[in-house]
Amino acid sequence: MKQYEVLFAGFGGQGIMTAGQLLAYAAIDEGKQVAWIPSYGPEMRGGTAYCMVVVSGERIGSPIINNPTCACVFNRPSFDKFTPRVKPDGLVIVNSSLINVQTDRTDVKEILVPANEIAMKAGNAKAANVVVLGAFIAATGVVSYETVKATIKDKLGKKKSALPINLQALEEGYNLAREALGQKVRA
């Protein structure tokens, strides 16, 4: 596997760091090299938050990436700031529940994910981060669906009431991205 860089960005309280950590843990479980770098604004909730996750089959030279392969953006300021930085032929996953614009870039794929609506339908709006994570793994194959599912059970399974919600959110995001890309959907 070649190196893949993804940036998760939004405001504090949207589970940005958790989405990145879940991806990082899943990649580690698959024996891949991983770097997870968080960045927080000065506020606890509501401030800017983003994290970079680098996944590779080989040693990672530098975890600092200015132009990621993918950006998963959860709010409009993050969309405006990070979408232009995505590498050509990259991917932008947009939480269309909170972002009502699309990129004008023709050199990237864009997947619109109504993450908040899907999460609320699953049972909790806080699962929007897992919806986007599901869309990301469906679109990229950086880690397997089953590995992420097992990681969610391991890392988020202590709160028994939230586990079914998170697993449904993962599956819904995964299926939505596969449909958007014209791939066969999980049953």
Model confidence over 97-113: pLDDT tens digits?
Answer: 999 999 999 999 999 99
**How far from the centroid of its chain's Cα atoms is residue 153's Cα?**
17
Query: SS3 of 73, please?
Result: strand
Closest by CA to 5, choosing from 40, 49, 38, 36, is 36
Residue 178 near residue 185, CB atoms below 8 Å? yes
165-182: per-residue pLDDT in tens? 999 999 999 999 999 988
Domain boundaries, the chain: 4-180
* pTM of structure: 0.94
Lookup result for tokens 């990681």: 151
CATH superfamily membership of 4-180: Pyruvate-ferredoxin oxidoreductase, PFOR, domain III (3.40.920.10)
User: How many angstroms separate the CA atoms of 74 and 93, rounded?
Assistant: 9
116-155: per-residue pLDDT in tens? 999 999 999 999 999 999 999 999 999 999 999 999 999 9
User: How many angstroms separate the CA atoms of 140 and 177, rounded?
Assistant: 10
